[in-house]
Amino acid sequence: MTTNGRRTGNKSGRMPHFRQSWNDLADRRGVQPTVAYAVSLLLLLALWQIASMVVRAVYGNPFLPAPYAVFTQMIRNAPGLGWDFLLTSWRLVLSILIALAVGVPVGLAIGHERVLDRYVSPMIYIVYPIPQVALILFLFLLFGTGNATKVALVTLVLFFQILVSARGAAKNLPQEHLTSVRATGASRWQIYRHVVLPASLPDILTSVRVGIGLGMALLYIAETQSERGGGLGLFISRKIVFARDTAFAGIVAMAILGLVLYVLVDALERVFCRWKYAGRRRR
Amino acid sequence: MEAPGVHLSDDGTLPAMIEVSDLTVHYGKGERAVEAVRDVSFSVKPGKTLALVGPSGCGKTTILFALAGLLQASAGTMSVGGSAVTGPRRDVALILQNAGLLPWKTVWQNANLSLLLSGEYPRRNAASVLEKLGLAQARTRYPSELSEGMKRRVGVARALSTSPTVMLMDEPLASLDTLTRESVQDLVLSLWQELRFSIVLVTHDIEEAAFLGQEILVLTERPAHIKARVENPNMGTEAYRWSDRFYAATAALRQALEQ
């Protein structure tokens, strides 16, 4: 292709094969997204390096540690950091799972059953805007200073997030989908199973994506509130003043946790919402 | 010709497959109730077709949904196969305007949905119906990957999968281009000639009513009631679409609608 392009020549002098080979690269599915991911991460590292150099030049002090220093600390602190990473991971994942297990059924039911919607939605409207982090002291009183409070706080926030989006999705379901299934004599459970849930799933997964960031922020706050229990939040807050490089190692660990969870949710969507990608695949 | 499962009555005539008398349907309750259908009566013999034609939004679909057991009648009675309509039933299939396919299910899952929900799948499946409608190759595709004509055929396949005795169609071919629409009409006609289910077709399209209805009821603006009945005995005859009889039928219908 390339040699052919050169041999035939081009009067305008532009390389005719360039566009073609770029499209070829883009068409190599499976490889291309991974390459894009890598490029994006490298770009971020470069920006970070530049930012750290700028800070150093302006303030005469490395307030913002450079990537190399941070990665060195990550390796040096690997055992402790790894343990805190696992602690934070399981707290976050457990919170997401509990919030999904409760929020999805309740949200779908409120969205689908008109009577429930009428009586329960006002309650949600009044409770949802309360910043749940304001309840943290109350949660400490209820659940103590252990894992339960941390998980409860994040679950509480994610629950409302998921509830509200599940309700919205179930409520905006096209009537024709319901009618066509009702006409076959489907039971209420079958309508949830075959229509309401699958139709709402993309919105629910989107709310989980939003929830990952939100949950991580709240988990950080909760973890810094007690001197025991570990987790990345405590790791970072202990080191931030006197060992900034190490603290940043904890921040990078949190970022990695976020990335892993996002990739996981994307993978779940590709499995459970295959239909959403089907049209694009063949067109 | 006798449809399966139907027996002659004592006097040798076929009892009606569908019997609707004095059907009235209201939406809402009390003073704010809206009358959608007023005193509609008709009957369809086994293996016959009936078209309901009227302006958009006149209440045609309401009649169909009531027959499908999806709506409560305010007054009047409806029966299918001799028993009163109290809810959705498996010998009555409904085909909706946009085929009513679920976007998250493949062609195979959509076609088998009725059988799945009634617990018959996988003992019984829609393989032969899909084959007959030329959809066997498309089994694993999703609705978003199908042409409009194919979507309608999948809708027909789902309806046929349970071998219904009555087929209710709500503007099944609306928003299709002319050639696709006519090809699906031909398909419905040939399936009807082969399987002899009874059809109640709701449409605002005069030609469609004339092509698929042996009897055509012309409805008024809301609330819908019958303002004319047109017999269409030539429906389904050889090369009907290109015949003068077809044009005569559409002309008669147009006149009835405009009156």
A65-282 falls under which CATH superfamily?
MetI-like (1.10.3720.10)
Residue B21 lies in a domain: yes
pLDDT digits over A39-92, tens only?
A: 999 999 999 999 999 999 999 888 889 999 999 999 999 999 999 999 999 999
pLDDT digits over A151-209, tens only?
A: 999 999 999 999 999 999 999 998 889 988 998 888 999 999 999 999 999 999 999 99
pLDDT digits over A102-147, tens only?
A: 999 999 999 999 999 999 999 988 988 888 888 888 888 888 878 8
Please check whether residue B12 touches A, CB under 8 A: no
Say which DSSP state B23 is in.
E
Tokens linked to A129: 């805007």
Please check whether residue B114 touches A, CB under 8 A: yes
Contact A173, A200 (CB under 8 A): yes
CATH of residue B56: 3.40.50.300
Q: At what angle do helices A78-112 and A197-224 cross, to 10 degrees?
A: 140
ipTM of model over 0.90: no
- What pLDDT is stored for residue B12 in this prediction? 57
> Which of A210, A256, A214 shows the shortest CA–CA distance to A232?
A256
Range of the domain at B53: 16-81+197-259
Mean pLDDT of chain A: 86
- Report the residue from A182, A199, A278 with minimal CB separation from B145: A278
Percent helix, strand, coil in chain A, to 5, is 85, 0, 15
- Report the residue from A182, A273, A275 with minimal CB separation from B70: A182
In a mutagenesis test of the A interface, which of B110, B112, B144 is the best target, namely the one with the most A β-carbons within 10 Å?
A: B144
- Tell me the C-alpha distance between A169 and A174, whole Å: 10
- Tell me the C-alpha distance between A244 and A247, whole Å: 5
Give A-chain residues touching B94 at CB under 8 angstroms.
Answer: 179-180, 183
Contact check, Cβ <8 Å, B87/A273: no
Give the pLDDT mean for A248-273.
93
- Report the residue from A184, A278, A281 with minimal CB separation from B113: A184
pLDDT of A6 over the 50 cut: no
Residue B114 lies in a domain: no
Contact check, Cβ <8 Å, A195/B141: no
Residues of chain B with pLDDT under 70: 1-14
Say which DSSP state B16 is in.
P
CATH 1.10.3720.10 segments of chain A: 65-282
Residue B122 lies in a domain: no
- What pLDDT is stored for residue A5 in this prediction? 40
Residue B215 lies in a domain: yes
Count of domains for chain B: 1
